[in-house]
Structure 1
Amino acid sequence: MSDKSEFILGVDIGGTHISAAIVNKLDWKIIPNNVVRNHVFSQENAKSIFLTWANTINSCVEAAGSMVKHIGIAMPGPFDYENGVSMMTGQSKYDDLYKMNVKTPLATLIGIPEQNIHFINDAAAFLQGEVFAQHLNTKERILGITLGTGLGSAVWNKGEKSFDADLWNTPYKNLIFEEFLVTRWFIKRFKELTDIEVTGLKQIINEHQQNPAFSILCEEYSIHLLDFLDFFSKKYNCIDFVIGGNIAKALPILLGQKKNQVEAYNIKTAILGEEAAIIGAAAQFS
């Protein structure tokens, strides 16, 4: 890689994974065969988490043979993105980092100055990347949703960068929306219905679709998601959505019984996957 200033390291950190890649500023595309992925045990101690993050980032830089100077990191919330302080607690991920400045130890481990590490909400980064990839920038507004270990929401307005809508903790059914739309809801609800313990939605779909409880699960989840779509759509006066995250891949199965209601919205499924958040994170340095 010749001109090092053309390249930025983009990182996507989730509740169970970290992915990193070098992004070319000239065309905002990931350098081919450059994505490095690792599983993150986000309920481990802080030291273990930082080492996993740093090893992944360092491996990516070494594989590319480049000395990058800037890193953009997409991170789930709640998180103080300006100061690099994690505010996640009670969400089955990163509890040990609560109220910790993660920028300082990470900068030390990867050898890059703190001021050259910028954080962005993962849903906002995802939406920014998808709008670019799907050529949606002729629209006036796009709403983004990520469904996985957490609930992400973002808004993109024409001519502006996307921002975190921060709707995960909106009150819903005596709790908050996130508790009814993410992986832990499937695990908890399936156990209540069947007394069977599972690790996530993928296992339920692969092993238990014939169980009578599966149709109940789909019916209930459809109602929750439609309620969220309705709330989000009315809040921003928009029916155009991009939905991503691990759960998004299963939406055709989960929403099958509610096809007519779903068609009230213009929903596009994410096409870049993790690459959207990586590109969106790197684009902080555009």
Structure 2
Amino acid sequence: MSDKSEFILGVDIGGTHISAALVNKSTWKIVSNNVVRNHVFSQESAKSIFLSWADTINNCIKATALPINYIGIAMPGPFDYENGISLISGQSKYDALYQMNVKTPLAVLIGIPEKNIHFINDAAAFLQGEVFAQKLNTHERVLGITLGTGLGSAVWNKGDKSFDANLWDTPYENSIFEEYLVTRWFIRRFKELTELEVSGLKQIINEHTNNPAFSIICKEYASHLVDFLRFFSEKYNCTNFIIGGNIAKALPILLKDKQDQLNSFTIKTATLGEEAAIIGAAAQFS
């Protein structure tokens, strides 16, 4: 297709990664040979972060012969999506960007006008993509959760775009829900129980399933997640969930002893992976 308006660059920025791909606006599918992925050291300087983002985006643009005029970016919160200002602080990621307008330097580095760069919450973008991919758009409402370096929550209502439910900092136990449902909880809790340092849940599953602490962690995490499902479900009067993010891959292990408490929910695991957020980000220009 030669019409440049049929293609939009979609970008998914997480706590440790950035992925970019060309999205075909007529089909809302990714041009598969155009995906560029890179690791992001999100606790480094603002300059380092911007250069990492721009390098990935520019490499994706260079891989196509088409001129790219519009970029949609899925970004974790808290974030001023309208003005492109990061409000992330104290989450072990992007502290150097706190209260900084990230749209202006990014526009300069990639050569795209600021008005053509739109941001969307990553959880909302993920949910938007998954709802249509899994043909769940016949439901009146679907709730989305992303579990990774942060806790994302979003709501999709039939006939409307998904929005950020912004529940990450809801008070829970001795802190907030996010502190009990993300990667750093596994790291912290495993060290408390074993005095061992791990990088996250993946390492625990790969190396420590025989450790007595493993079953304790699974049960505790499952209880926290069930509490969050109940809270989210009651708040929006909905029992349909899509759960994604790196931790979601381990849900069969984490939730195997909680099936009786999950019967009241319809839970689907995300199928598109990073593609959901990329497509959802690009769909801002639909």
TM range (shorter): over 0.9
1:33: which partner in 2? Answer: 33
1:257: which partner in 2? Answer: 257
2:170: which partner in 1? Answer: 170
Question: 1:188-267 alignment to 2 at 5 Å?
Answer: 188-267=188-267
2:9: which partner in 1? Answer: 9
Give the drift of 1:264. Answer: 1.9
For residues 44 and 66 of structure 2, what CA distance do their matches in structure 1 show? 31
Secondary structure of the 1:33 match is helix
Alpha-carbon RMSD across the aligned residues, in angstroms, is 0.6
For residues 39 and 174 of structure 1, what CA distance do their matches in structure 2 show? 32
Secondary structure of the 1:257 match is coil
CA deviation vs aligned residue, 1:67-117 (integer Å, no higher than 9, x gap):
100000000000000000000000000000000000000000000000000
How many matched pairs?
286
Q: Which runs of 5+ in 1 are unaligned?
A: none
1:42: which partner in 2? Answer: 42
Give the drift of 1:64. Answer: 1.8
For residues 207 and 68 of structure 2, what CA distance do their matches in structure 1 show? 44
Q: TM-score, normalised by structure 2?
A: 0.99
Residues 1:64 and 2:70 aligned together: no
2:275: which partner in 1? Answer: 275
For residues 89 and 32 of structure 2, what CA distance do their matches in structure 1 show? 36
For residues 211 and 159 of structure 2, what CA distance do their matches in structure 1 show? 48
Give the drift of 1:185. Answer: 0.1
| Aligned AA (2:67) | M
Give the drift of 1:11. Answer: 0.2
Question: 1:144-159 alignment to 2 at 5 Å?
Answer: 144-159=144-159
| Aligned AA (1:211) | N
2:97: which partner in 1? Answer: 97
| Aligned AA (1:177) | F
For residues 44 and 183 of structure 1, what CA distance do their matches in structure 2 show? 19
Secondary structure of the 2:10 match is strand
Give the drift of 1:263. Answer: 2.3
Give the drift of 1:153. Answer: 0.1
Q: TM-score, normalised by structure 1?
A: 0.99
For residues 20 and 197 of structure 2, what CA distance do their matches in structure 1 show? 32
Q: Kindly report structure 1 stretches of 4+ aligned residues shifted beyond 6 Å.
A: none
1:110: which partner in 2? Answer: 110
2:141: which partner in 1? Answer: 141
Q: Which runs of 5+ in 2 are unaligned?
A: none
Give the drift of 1:149. Answer: 0.1
Percent identity over the alignment is: 79
CA deviation vs aligned residue, 1:167-186 (integer Å, no higher than 9, x gap):
00000012100000000000
